Structure 1
Amino acid sequence: MAKEPQSYLNSITNQSDDDSDAQKRELSIFSKTVSFELPVGWDMAFNSSKGQMFKAEFVPAGETLNDWSDLFCIQGFEGLSDNIQADQFLNDFAKTYKDTCQGEVIYDQLGMTQIGGQEAYHGIIGCTVMANFLQTRGSGKQQGEIGYYAVIKGSEDLYLLHKSMRGHVFNEQSAPLKSANHRQFMSNIQQLRFQQ
Structure 2
Amino acid sequence: MRPFLFLALAAPAFAAPAGPARVPVFERTLVFNLPADMIRANDRNNGTNILIEYVPKGQTLANWTRLVTIQAYRGLGRSPMKSADIARQAFYPASCTTGPIYRDGGERILASGLKRSIIANGCPSLPEGAYPKALRGAGEQNYIMMFRDADSIYTLNYAVRGAAFAGKAPPLSVEGGEAILRDVFGEVTLNPSP
What's the TM-score, normalizing by structure 2? 0.77
When residues 157 and 183 of structure 1 are mapped into structure 2, their CA distance, relative to the original with a 3 A threshold, is closer
Match of 1:91 among 69, 88, 92: 88
Give 3-state SS (helix, strand or coil) of 1:81's partner: helix
What is the CA deviation profile of residues 70-110 of structure 1, one whole-angstrom value per residue up to 9, with x for unaligned ones? 11111001122121332111111234x323x3533111221
The answer as to 2:88 corresponding to 1:103 is: no
Shift of 1:150: 2.7
Q: How does 1:1-196 map to 2 (within 5 A)?
A: 21-83=17-79, 84-95=81-92, 97-99=93-95, 101-113=96-108, 117=112, 118-130=114-126, 131=128, 133-134=132-133, 142-171=137-166, 173-186=168-181, 187-195=183-191, 196=193
Report the equivalent of 1:9. none
Task: Give the Cα separation in 1 of the matches to 2:62 and 2:52.
Answer: 15
Give yes or no for contact 1:129–1:143 (8 Å, CA) kept in 2: yes
Task: Give the Cα separation in 1 of the matches to 2:97 and 2:58.
Answer: 27
Give yes or no for contact 1:48–1:56 (8 Å, CA) kept in 2: yes
When residues 75 and 21 of structure 1 are mapped into structure 2, their CA distance, relative to the original with a 3 A threshold, is closer
In structure 1, stretches of 5+ residues that fail to align are 1-19
Shift of 1:151: 2.0
Give 3-state SS (helix, strand or coil) of 1:188's partner: helix
Q: CA RMSD in A?
A: 2.4
Q: Using CA pairs under 8 Å that are at least 6 residues apart, name the structure with larger relative contact order, 1 or 2.
A: 2
What is the CA deviation profile of residues 4-61 of structure 1, one whole-angstrom value per residue up to 9, with x for unaligned ones? xxxxxxxxxxxxxxxx642321112111122211111211110101241101111121
- Extract structure 1 runs of 4+ deviating beyond 6 A: none
What's the TM-score, normalizing by structure 1? 0.76
Larger Rg: 1
Residue type at the aligned position of 2:124: T
Shift of 1:114: 5.5
Shift of 1:176: 1.5
When residues 159 and 192 of structure 1 are mapped into structure 2, their CA distance, relative to the original with a 3 A threshold, is same
Give 3-state SS (helix, strand or coil) of 1:103's partner: coil
Task: Give the Cα separation in 2 of the matches to 1:180 and 1:151.
Answer: 16
Task: Give the Cα separation in 1 of the matches to 2:172 and 2:141.
Answer: 7
Report the identity percentage: 21
